[in-house]
Amino acid sequence: MPLTILSDEQVNTLLESLTIDELEDFRKDLCSALHEFSTTVKAPEEAFQQPPRSTTLHPETRIKTFYMAACGPSGMGCKVISRPHLEPQDSHDAAKPVIANGLLTLFNPDGSPLGLVHPGALTAFRTALASVCLLNRRNQVKTITVFGSGMQAYWHVRLALMMKGATIRHVNVINRRFSANATGLLKKFATIPSYIKQREGWTEAKFGLLTPTFHEYQRLLKEQIRDADVIYCCTPSHEELFDGSILTSHEGRKKGRLIIAVGSHRPDMRELPDDLIQLAVKHHDRPHRHFHKHAQEGGAIVVDNLEGALKEAGEIIMGKVNPHQLVELGELVMLHRLAQEESDAEVASSQASITSDLDKLEIDDRVPSMSTVFTNASSTRSRSSSPSGSNGSDSRKSSSIFHRRKASSSSSDTEKKKREDGLVRWLRDGTVIYKSVGLGLMDLVVGIHLIQVANSKKIGISVDGF
C-alpha cells in the first residue's frame, strides 16, 4: 500500500466536504475505539495501547515537543507537536501568538508506513467528533453557546450543525475580544455553500458575537448561557469563563444542558467554575417534593480518559474530584439502549431521578472509575494496580456492564435495565459535563479513517514504494 501525504489544506477540504453519512462513519469508528479502550478485557497486545505522552525541550531554541503515541488493531501512530516553550509569566498572555508545527505519522499493523498527516484541522476535528458522541444523544438542541473563536470552536459548532442542524436556531459566539479571529469564525459559517446548509437543515440559524465591550455584557452573557442547550468551552483559559451561579442557582438548574470543556488542558488552566464542578459530582439524595424542579444531575463528570483528566485537567485537579466521580466517555457511548427511541409516555411517566439510579450502582471511594459500579467489586482490578504512569490496556477494568455475564435472575436483569434507563435519561435530557484533555488513540483512529477517505476520493500525495 502506498504512503499517503495530506497537507492541512487537503485535510480541511476532505472534512468540509463530508456528508452526514460519512461523518457518521467517522463517529462510529471513534465510538467503537473509545468503548474498547475503556472496557476491554483483552490482553495488551490485542487491544488499544495508550502510553503516556512525553516531551523534549531544545536547549537553544526553547522549542518544546510533545510526543503522543497510540497502538490499536488497525495500526500504530504518533503525533508530534512542536511549539515555543512559554514561561509561567508568559503563558497567561493570550495576545502573544503561539505557532505550533507538527505531524501525525501512521503505520499499518505490519509496521509499513501508511500516512503523514498535518495535525492542525485533524486535531480539532477529532476532539469535536468525540464530543459528538454525547451530542448525538441529546433530546433537544436549539441553542448553542460557544466560548472561543479558534479551530476547536469552529469544528465543535460545525459538527453540531451537521448532526443537529435541523433543530438548531441560534449559535452564540462569546469571545474575550472583538478580533479578526472572532469575526472570521462567523464569516466561515456564512460562506458555507447554501446547498450544504439546506442539506443539513440550518439555513434559518442565526449567529451572533458577544464580547466584553458590548453594552450590558454581563446580562447578555447570563442570557446566552441560560438559553443554551449545549455549551462549548474552547479557550486556553486560566480562569473560569463565567460565574458558576448562572447554572448552579435554582433557575439555572431547571434546564438540562450538555457542557463540553476542551480548551484548558493543563493543571494550571480551567474554563468551568468550581461550584459547577462540585454540583456535577455531588451525591444527591432521593428527590423530595419541592417547588423547584431541576434537570437530572448524574453525580459524575464524563472524561475522555481517566488518567489524563486526573493529571492534566485543571478543573478536576483544583476541584479535588475523586476518580470514582469520573466516568469515561467510552463506557457510555455504546450503551445498547442509547440506540433505542424511548416513547413520550416513558418520558412522562419517569419520576425517578438519575441520582437514585446511580445510588443503586454502589459507588464508593475504592472504585477507580464509574464503570466498575456495574460489576462485582471482587472481580474488578483497579487501575492503580498497573505500573506507574501506564495507560496501556492491561490497566483497564477487567469487567463492566459491557462485559458482564448475563445474570441468572430476572430481577437482576430488571435492575440492570433500570440503571441503564437512568443513564440514558441523564445523557439525553440531564445536565452532563464532559471534560476532554485529548487522547492519542483519537488521532490514530480518525487519522487512519481519514487516509481511507482520502484514497477513495483521490486527494493527497501518494508515494509508492516508500
Please give the mean pLDDT across all residues of the chain.
Answer: 82
| Count of other CB atoms within 10 angstroms of residue 108 | 14
pLDDT digits (tens, 9 = 90+) for 407-462: 445 666 676 666 677 888 899 999 999 999 999 999 999 999 999 999 999 999 99
pLDDT digits (tens, 9 = 90+) for 181-207: 999 999 999 999 999 999 999 999 999
Query: In 139-280, at which residue ranges do the beta strands (DSSP E only) sit?
Result: 143-147, 170-174, 206-210, 230-233, 258-261
pLDDT digits (tens, 9 = 90+) for 324-353: 999 999 999 876 444 444 444 344 444 444
pLDDT digits (tens, 9 = 90+) for 361-413: 443 343 344 443 333 333 333 343 333 333 444 444 433 333 333 444 566 66
Q: Which residues contact 434 (CB under 8 A, 6 or more apart)?
A: 131, 134, 258, 259, 260, 261, 301, 302, 303, 304, 329
What is the pLDDT at residue 417?
67
What is the pLDDT at residue 94?
47
Residue 436, helix vs strand vs coil:
coil
What is the pLDDT at residue 43?
58
The residue with greater pLDDT, 156 or 377, is 156
Q: What is the dihedral of CA 151, 153, 156, 161, to 10 degrees?
A: -110
Cα 466 to Cα 168: distance, rounded to the nearest angstrom: 46
Q: What is the residue-wise DSSP string for 66-83?
A: EEEEEEETTEEEEEEEEE
Q: What is the residue-wise DSSP string for 380-421?
A: ---GGGSPTT--SGGGS-S--TTSPPPPSSHHHHHHHHHHHH
**Cβ–Cβ < 8 Å for 137, 164:** no
Query: How many helical (H) and strand (E) elements, i.e. helices and strands, does the chain have?
Result: 15, 15
Cα 298 to Cα 356: distance, rounded to the nearest angstrom: 9
Cα 53 to Cα 50: distance, rounded to the nearest angstrom: 9
Task: Tell me which residue of 303, 235, 245, 233 sits closest to 278, measured CA to CA.
Answer: 245
Single pTM value for the model = 0.83
Place of cell 466560548: 147
Dihedrals phi, psi of 427, to nearest 5 degrees: -65, -30
Q: Count Cα neighbours of 447 within 13 Å in the Cβ-side half-sphere.
A: 36
